[in-house]
Amino acid sequence: MAEVILINRAHICAMGRDIEIGAKCLGNNTCEFTVWAPLAERMSLRITGSPRKEIPMSREEKGYWRTTAEGAGMGCRYQYIINGSLARPDPASNYQPDGVHEPSQAVDHGGFSWNDRSWKGIPLEKYIMYELHVGAFTPEGTFDAVIPRLDALRDLGISAIEIMPVAQFPGARNWGYDGAYPYAVQNSYGGPDALKRLADACHVKGLAVILDVVYNHLGPEGNYLPDFGPYLSSRYRTPWGSAINYDGEYSDGVRNFFIQNALYWLENYHIDGLRLDAVHGIVDMSAVHILSELAERVEAFSKSKGRDYFLIAESDLNDSRIVRRRKEGGYQIHSQWLDDFHHAVHALITGERAGYYRDFGLPHHLGKALEEGFVYSGQYSGYRKRMHGNSSGDIPAERFIAFIQNHDQVGNRMNGERLSALAGFEALKLAAGTLIVAPYIPLIFMGEEYAEDSPFLYFISHGDPGLVEAVRQGRKREFEAAGGRGDPPEPQDPETMSSSRLAWEKREDGAHGALLSYYRNLISLRKGTAALNQLRRDRMRVRCSDKDELFFITRSHGNSRILCVLNYSDRELTDRAGGPREEWVKIADSADDRWMGPGYTAPERIRGVKHIDIRPYNFLLYRGGGKK
C-alpha cells in the first residue's frame, strides 16, 4: 500500500496539486506569498500600512503567482491586487484580524512554543467525543476560555473534543458554516495562537482535537475566491449555494486549495483529525473522487509523522463507499457520522414523526442501527420517496460515530430544543445508556451530559442587511414547509446566541448533577469493560420486538460479557421469555435513586429467573458471571 501512495503522490505533484499557498514567513522579516489566480493577467502584492508598497508577482505554471517581500514578516497586513485595480484579501489568509472584508495578516507558524511533543494521539476506536461550539461553550466565547473547562471534560471521561468550524466568518456570531476563509482562524475566538494554545492544552491533558471543516461550499459574505479563479461550479448546486469546482476546468487548483487546507490544520495547529461537513454536498465526477484523494494525502501525511491522523465524514447518503477501503472501491475515510442511529433513538424517545423521522419510530429500526449501522440500506424511504442507501453490515463498527444529539439535530429545529426539552428525565438516561453500549464511537453534544435546558439556536452576524433578511425569510419558509408555526428566533439578534450559551453553574445541581454523575458512571463502565470498549458487532446480539419496545443486547469479548436491557415503552414491562442460564450481575440501573430514578425493580442478579420487571424507559446493564 505504501508504494501506491508514493506513486499517486508523484502523480499529484506532476499535476500541480501539491503547492503550498498563502503567506509563508521565511525569517529575517521576509515572507513568500503564493496565490492561485489562473485567469488573471496581472497580480501584485500590496503591503498595507505606512508606508504602503506594491510588489509585482511572477506568474508560474498552473496559474500560480509568487513573490518574496523583504520587510514584510510576521504580522504584516497585505492584499492582492488583481489586474491592477481589484484589491482583495488572500484566499488562503491565515488571519483576518479586522474581519472578512479587510486585509489579511501574515502568521509565523514556527514561532509558537508547543508543549505536546510527547503526544502520539489516541486510536480512533478509543475516542469518547464531545462536540462544542467555541462561542457558546463559555460566557467568554473564546479558545482560551475553553482551556479551564478541559479538566471537567476529562473528569467526565471525554478523550476527544470536536470543535465546530473556526474558519473566519463575518462578524462575531455564527455556527461557522458561513466561513469565507478556510485557512483563517476566527478573530473573535482569539485567532491563530489561541487555537494553538487550546490544542496544546488538550494534548497535555491527554485529549485529542477534531476540527470541523467545510469543503462543500463557501459562506455568502466575504467570499472573494471567485475573483481569483473558478473555485465554484455553475453546473451543480448545493442547499447552501454554488458547489465547489472539484471536477471542471481549472479544478486542479481548487483541489490543491482544499487538500492543502486539510494538511495545514494538521501540521500547523496539531489537529488530530478533521470532520468533513456534509460531504453529500460535494459533487465530483472525476475518476479519482476528491474524498479519496484527500484520504490518500492524509494517509501519506500520517506516515511522514509516524502517527495516525483521521478524517470523519458527515453524510446523509447512507453510502458505505465513503468509509470502505480503496481495494473495496471506497474512499477510505476513517469514520462517518451515523445519523440513522440518532433518528431511531429520537423517534422512539419523543414520538416525533415529522420530516425524516417519518422513516423511523419502530424498535426494529434501532435494532438494525445497532446491528448493521445504516437502517436504510436499499429500502424505500417514505421521507425521500425513493430507495435509499446501501448495506453497511460488513463495515467495522469503529467507522461509525453515534450520537443522540448534535448541533444539527438540535440547532436545526425552529426553537433549538435539546432532547431535555422533548423527553422526560428517565428517557434521557435510557438514550444515554443506549449510546454508551452501542458498538460505535460515541459523541456527546455540549451540555447533553447534564441536561442543559438552554436551547441551541441558529445565529449569525452578517453585515449585509439584504443577506440578513434573506436568511430570515429562508429559515421561515423552511420551517413553514415542515409544518412549523410562528416565526423562528431572530438569527441576527445577539440575544439569540447569548441564550444558546451553556449555563455551567447548573452542572452539579439537582437533576442536572444526577445526570452528570450517571454519564460519568456509564463512560467509566464502557472504558473499563472489554465487551463494551472493543467495537465488535460480530460479537453482539440484539433481540427486540416492535410489539413491546423491549430490547435485549448481549456483547462479548474474551471472558468479558454484558447483557443490556432497554425498555423504550412508557409502561412497566415484564419479560417472560425465561431467564438466561448464565448468571448476570447488575452494574447499572437508570431507575436507581442515586440518579434520581423512581427506584429499581429489576433483580441484582439473574439466572434462570422466570421473569424480569422492567421500569418504563429503563436502562439495565449486567455483567456476565460463571455459567451454570
pLDDT tens for each residue of 181-205? 999 999 999 999 999 999 999 999 9
Q: Which residues contact 100 (CB under 8 A, 6 or more apart)?
A: 89, 168, 169, 170, 180, 181, 221, 222
The class (CATH top level) of 541-624 is: mainly beta
Q: If pLDDT is split at 50, 70 and 90, which confidence band does 482 have?
A: confident
**Residue 372, C-alpha cell as written in the block:** 448493521
Cβ pair 566, 619 in contact under 8 A: yes
Report the pLDDT value the prediction gives residue 18, as an integer from 0 to 100.
86
Instruction: Please determine, for residue 263, whether its predicted confidence score (pLDDT) is greater than 80.
Output: yes
Q: If pLDDT is split at 50, 70 and 90, which confidence band does 417 have?
A: very high
Of the listed ranges 50-54, 316-320, 596-600, 620-624, the one predicted with least confidence: 50-54
The residues pairing with 78 across neighbouring beta strands, listed in sequence order, are: 47, 104
pLDDT digits (tens, 9 = 90+) for 293-307: 999 999 999 999 999
Average pLDDT along the chain? 93
Sign of CA dihedral 310, 316, 318, 322: negative
Q: If pLDDT is split at 50, 70 and 90, which confidence band does 240 have?
A: confident
Instruction: Please determine, for residue 118, whether its predicted confidence score (pLDDT) is greater than 90.
Output: yes
Percentage of residues in the chain having pLDDT higher than 70: 95
Q: If pLDDT is split at 50, 70 and 90, which confidence band does 611 have?
A: confident
Span 12-16, mean pLDDT?
50
N- to C-terminal Cα distance for the chain? 49
Closest-CA residue to 231 (of 246, 219, 221, 220): 246
pLDDT digits (tens, 9 = 90+) for 203-220: 999 999 999 999 999 999
Instruction: Please determine, for residue 6, whether its predicted confidence score (pLDDT) is greater than 50.
Output: no
Q: If pLDDT is split at 50, 70 and 90, which confidence band does 466 have?
A: very high
Phi, psi of 600 (to 5 degrees): -90, 155
Report the pLDDT value the prediction gives residue 575, as an integer from 0 to 100.
78
pLDDT digits (tens, 9 = 90+) for 137-182: 999 999 999 999 999 999 999 999 999 999 999 999 999 999 999 9
**Residue 311, C-alpha cell as written in the block:** 478524517
Q: If pLDDT is split at 50, 70 and 90, which confidence band does 628 have?
A: very low
The helices-and-strands tally (H runs, E runs) of the chain is 16, 31
How far is 15 from 256, CA to CA, in rounded Å?
10
Are both 17-111 and 541-624 of the same fold?
Answer: yes
pLDDT digits (tens, 9 = 90+) for 421-447: 999 999 999 999 999 999 999 999 999
Report the pLDDT value the prediction gives residue 141, as an integer from 0 to 100.
98
Span 44-52, mean pLDDT?
87
Report the pLDDT value the prediction gives residue 580, as an integer from 0 to 100.
60
Active site residues: 277, 314
Quote helix, strand, coil % in the chain, to nearest 5: 35, 20, 45
Secondary structure of residue 220 in the 3-state scheme: coil
Q: If pLDDT is split at 50, 70 and 90, which confidence band does 2 have?
A: very low
Closest-CA residue to 79 (of 92, 71, 90, 68): 90
Span 101-118, mean pLDDT?
96
Instruction: Please determine, for residue 8, whether its predicted confidence score (pLDDT) is greater than 70.
Output: no
What CATH number does the domain located at 17-111 have? 2.60.40.10
Closest-CA residue to 280 (of 393, 408, 162): 408
Span 76-88, mean pLDDT?
97
CA 316 from centre of chain: 13
Domain range list for the chain: 17-111, 541-624
Buried b (16+ CB within 10 A) or exposed e, 498-535: ebbbbeeebbeeebbbbbbbbbebbbebbeebebbbbb
Report the pLDDT value the prediction gives residue 17, as an integer from 0 to 100.
65
Q: If pLDDT is split at 50, 70 and 90, which confidence band does 16 have?
A: low
Secondary structure of residue 382 in the 3-state scheme: coil
Of the listed ranges 20-29, 480-489, 502-511, 552-561, the one predicted with least confidence: 480-489
Closest-CA residue to 408 (of 124, 202, 165, 152): 165
Instruction: Please determine, for residue 419, whether its predicted confidence score (pLDDT) is greater than 50.
Output: yes
Span 65-86, mean pLDDT?
94
pLDDT digits (tens, 9 = 90+) for 551-609: 999 999 999 999 999 999 999 988 765 556 678 999 999 999 999 999 988 999 988 66
Cβ pair 576, 609 in contact under 8 A: no
Instruction: Please determine, for residue 626, whether its predicted confidence score (pLDDT) is greater than 60.
Output: no
Secondary structure of residue 14 in the 3-state scheme: helix
The residues pairing with 210 across neighbouring beta strands, listed in sequence order, are: 162, 273
The residues pairing with 33 across neighbouring beta strands, listed in sequence order, are: 23, 67
Q: Which residues contact 604 (CB under 8 A, 6 or more apart)?
A: 585, 586
Of the listed ranges 74-88, 387-401, 580-594, the one predicted with least confidence: 580-594
The model's pTM is 0.95
